[in-house]
Chain A
Amino acid sequence: MTEKQTLTETRPVPPAPRPPRGAALRRALKALRVFMRSQPLGAAALLLICAFVLVALLAPWIAPYDPLEQFRRDILDPPSGKYLFGTDDLGRDVLSRTIHGARTSLIVGVTTTGVSLVLGTMIGVISGYFGRGLDLVVQRVMDAVQAVPGIVLLLFIAVILGPSVCNTIIALTVVITPSFNRIARAETLRVRQEPYVEAARATGAHAPRILALHVLPNMLASVLTLGSLIFAGVIIAESALSFLGIGAPPPTPSWGLMLSEGVRYVERAPWLIIVPSVALSIAVFSFNLLGDALRDHLDPRLHRSAADRVTGLWWGRRMLSRLAPSLARATEQNLSTDVTTGGTPRPSEPPR
């Protein structure tokens, strides 16, 4: 669909008719409807994510208590009518803290994913489109960042900057940007070969125009799919950093922090572990599920040739496979990336 549309846009004569106002929105809604119908699991994941976002946004109004208020008389109270999920060692309401923890996760997740998506895509597109020396240098630097295990890099940056939510975001952005760079570059290399880009170039379109009108729209699907899976990784990484004591500083309600505070009371107050664990797992699960469904929906085999299937490479196999074949394969097999542990992509099943 997108291809057809860009083709009409590149045709110089007659000038492409401007789509009416609101057409983009309507098209997006239609795409969403099609997606929800063909991927029931994806629809369920979207609903879960909406619930997560709503809880995070409305936290102050939903939470029964202030997440920082210490009820000194009710320390380590088991779940009851008064405190639905019990209280912690300082007498704080676990339910309220969990609800506000969603807020912390959402802030870190949205900012990190957003910034690294934009930054990584820009680097990848420019590096891939202009190629040559620039590409060689930029990609080697990205490889070096990716070769350092994610957790070590996160430790470094978090220790340098000190524990705070803002610094967690900075550290995670550095670690994640190369993943977006990789996929954006691979997609650029793929799209650059397409006849419609050649046609645009032949009509004298400048690089910025080609990038904005042809290259970016055509990679949006892959980048967004990766974004969903990365979001899940960011939520894990944020809680892992907080768990290690170098993420969100103590009074902040964060799931990782709640877990590390709860470890000491495993036997006396298991709800301190179980409640944040379940919240964290559901959040991660829904983003992973959405990413999986998106990938199935935007079936890559549709634009995969028979030869590609043999070599098993489809994400911009050309340059990538020459420079880093196994990473190319990894990206191709699966986009889901575990950021906490080295940013290694995990293979997954090809959609069938």
Chain B
Amino acid sequence: MIGYTLRRLGYGVVVMGLVTIFVFVIMRLVPGDAVSLQLQDTGVSKEAADVLRAEFGLDDPVWVQLWEWLAGAVQGDLGASFYNKEPVIDLFLARVPVTVQLGLLAMLVGTALGLTVGIIAAITRGSVTDSALRVFAVAFLSVPNFVIALLLLTAFALWFAWSPPLVYAEPTEDFVSWAQQMAIPVFALGTGGMAAVARLTRSSMLESLGSDYIRTVRAKGVRERTVVLKHSLRNSTIAVLTLLGLELATVLGGTVIIERMFGLPGTGQLIYQAVLDRDYPVVVACTIFYAGLFVITIILIDLLYALVDPRIRTGKALS
């Protein structure tokens, strides 16, 4: 198990290294850097711009910049924004809570609804309810989350003449305003996950409901509710957890569009603005954070599976 864990971690480190190099190179390939963007309307001389570039280290070769960044990053210094000179880490940490709230709530709503729908579809297999729920799931997989958000906005505006507040409020300060603003984004982000969870729950429960051990449990005279909720559902837990891990990346990606639409000050907005401004340190830090989260999730899922199924970690399943 230890060997397997180390191998997975090593793999993660290699991928993260490649991501870092990739981000660095691609950002430097961008025509027009932060300095020329900042100074384009001010009429500052070319020499002054070069001085600024030297200050940011933009005149060094890419690999020198990469090395300096890595040296700083190891010591917990991710550099400072080219715009307001604030340390990237502060900028980033200030934005994290909103995205975390949004993402967690969306996943929570998606999982809760998805499990419910999936269980109902599984126990009513083949009925009208089942078909209706399945069509509903595929439909929700097909409508992009920003479209769901737009349609909800339209519906509320038309029928209730209501639209969410424009300025973000901390939940500790003004809970009602916060809830009003988060409701549509959370639902819009959660629906994709909901549909996916529902489908997976349905299929894996159907598989276990037809298995021998469930027949044994039933033969014992256990109540049907216990059979479904305890014995059958528990069997689908790992599959659903895997899905949720992978769903995390989807939700994080989705926040970029949704946060922009609703004016939520989260990391999605930060990265969007930073890419537009060519604010390299911010972009690099955000991308590596997102990619890191993704890689860590994948490794955790792998380890979870290895823990459950010894054949994976010993490699016996590979033959």
Which A residues fall within an 8 A CB radius of B? Answer: 140-141, 143-145, 147-152, 155-157, 159-160, 232, 236, 239-240, 243-244, 259, 263, 266-267, 270, 273-274, 277, 280-281, 284-285, 288-289, 292, 307, 311, 313, 317-318, 321-327, 329-330, 333, 336, 338, 340-342, 344-350, 352
Can you name the residue of chain A whose Cβ is closest to the Cβ of B161? A267
**Known A143-B15, A348-B200; contact A273-B142, beta-carbon cutoff 8 A:** no
- Could you say which of B142, B247, B257, B305 contacts A281, with CB atoms under 8 Å apart? B142
Q: How far is B256's CA from A152's CA once the two chains are assembled, in angstroms?
A: 8
- Could you say which of A148, A243, A350 contacts B291, with CB atoms under 8 Å apart? A148
Whether, in the assembled complex, B153 has its beta carbon less than 8 Å from a beta carbon of chain A, the answer is yes
Q: How far is B141's CA from A322's CA once the two chains are assembled, in angstroms?
A: 30
- Could you say which of B18, B139, B202, B256 contacts A140, with CB atoms under 8 Å apart? B18
State whether B287 touches A344 (Cβ < 8 A).
no
State whether B247 touches A344 (Cβ < 8 A).
yes
**Known A236-B144, A341-B250, A342-B252; contact A149-B291, beta-carbon cutoff 8 A:** yes
Q: How far is B242's CA from A347's CA once the two chains are assembled, in angstroms?
A: 9
Shortest Cβ-Cβ A-B pairs, 4 listed: A349-B203, A341-B253, A144-B18, A342-B249
**Known A321-B318, A326-B302; contact A349-B202, beta-carbon cutoff 8 A:** yes
Write the nearest CB–CB distance from A228 to chain B, whole angstroms.
13
State whether A160 touches B256 (Cβ < 8 A).
no
Q: Which of A149, A277, A321 has the most CB of B within 10 A?
A: A149
Q: How far is B161's CA from A68's CA once the two chains are assembled, in angstroms?
A: 31
State whether B318 touches A280 (Cβ < 8 A).
no
State whether A327 touches B298 (Cβ < 8 A).
yes
Q: Which of B142-179 contact A (CB under 8 A)?
A: 142-147, 150-151, 153-154, 157-158, 161, 163
- Could you say which of B158, B249, B298, B312 contacts A149, with CB atoms under 8 Å apart? B249
Q: Other than A148-B290, A267-B158, A284-B142, give 4 A-B pairs with Cβ distance below 8 A.
A: A155-B256, A313-B317, A341-B254, A346-B192
Q: How far is B18's CA from A143's CA once the two chains are assembled, in angstroms?
A: 9
State whether B253 touches A147 (Cβ < 8 A).
no
State whether B196 touches A347 (Cβ < 8 A).
yes
Given the complex, which residues of B lie within 8 Å of A346, measured CB to CB? Answer: 141, 192, 196, 243, 246-247, 250
Q: How far is B298's CA from A349's CA once the two chains are assembled, in angstroms?
A: 21
**Known A147-B295, A159-B275, A266-B157; contact A239-B144, beta-carbon cutoff 8 A:** yes
Q: How far is B253's CA from A244's CA once the two chains are assembled, in angstroms?
A: 13
Write the nearest CB–CB distance from A60 to chain B, whole angstroms.
27
State whether A322 touches B276 (Cβ < 8 A).
no
State whether A342 touches B154 (Cβ < 8 A).
no
Q: How far is B163's CA from A326's CA once the two chains are assembled, in angstroms?
A: 41
Given the complex, which residues of B lie within 8 Å of A239, measured CB to CB? Answer: 144, 147
State whether A144 touches B309 (Cβ < 8 A).
no
State whether B150 touches A263 (Cβ < 8 A).
yes
Q: How far is B149's CA from A21's CA once the two chains are assembled, in angstroms?
A: 53
Given the complex, which residues of B lie within 8 Å of A333, measured CB to CB? Answer: 200, 239
State whether A311 touches B309 (Cβ < 8 A).
yes
Given the complex, which residues of A lie within 8 Å of B22, measured CB to CB? Answer: 144-145, 148
Given the complex, which residues of A lie within 8 Å of B141, measured CB to CB? Answer: 288, 336, 346
State whether A273 touches B151 (Cβ < 8 A).
yes
Q: How far is B26's CA from A288's CA once the two chains are assembled, in angstroms?
A: 32
Given the complex, which residues of A lie within 8 Å of B306, measured CB to CB? Answer: 325
17 contacts between A and B (CB under 8 A): A147-B15, A147-B295, A151-B257, A232-B142, A270-B158, A273-B154, A281-B144, A284-B143, A285-B139, A285-B143, A341-B249, A341-B251, A342-B249, A344-B249, A346-B250, A347-B199, A347-B239
**Known A144-B22, A327-B298, A340-B253; contact A347-B243, beta-carbon cutoff 8 A:** yes
- Could you say which of A147, A340, A352 contacts B206, with CB atoms under 8 Å apart? A352
- Could you say which of A244, A274, A311, A344 contacts B151, with CB atoms under 8 Å apart? A274
Whether, in the assembled complex, B29 has its beta carbon less than 8 Å from a beta carbon of chain A, the answer is yes
Given the complex, which residues of A lie within 8 Å of B252, measured CB to CB? Answer: 149, 341-342
Q: How far is B278's CA from A142's CA once the two chains are assembled, in angstroms?
A: 25
State whether A277 touches B150 (Cβ < 8 A).
yes
Whether, in the assembled complex, B98 has its beta carbon less than 8 Å from a beta carbon of chain A, the answer is no
**Known A150-B253, A289-B138, A347-B200; contact A342-B294, beta-carbon cutoff 8 A:** yes
State whether A243 touches B146 (Cβ < 8 A).
yes
Can you name the residue of chain A whose Cβ is closest to the Cβ of B197? A347
Q: How far is B196's CA from A338's CA once the two chains are assembled, in angstroms?
A: 11
Given the complex, which residues of A lie within 8 Å of B153, measured CB to CB? Answer: 263, 266, 273
State whether B18 touches A326 (Cβ < 8 A).
no
Whether, in the assembled complex, B233 has its beta carbon less than 8 Å from a beta carbon of chain A, the answer is no
State whether B203 touches A277 (Cβ < 8 A).
no
Write the nearest CB–CB distance from B11 to chain A, whole angstroms.
7
State whether A156 touches B157 (Cβ < 8 A).
no
Can you name the residue of chain B whose Cβ is closest to the Cβ of A328? B302
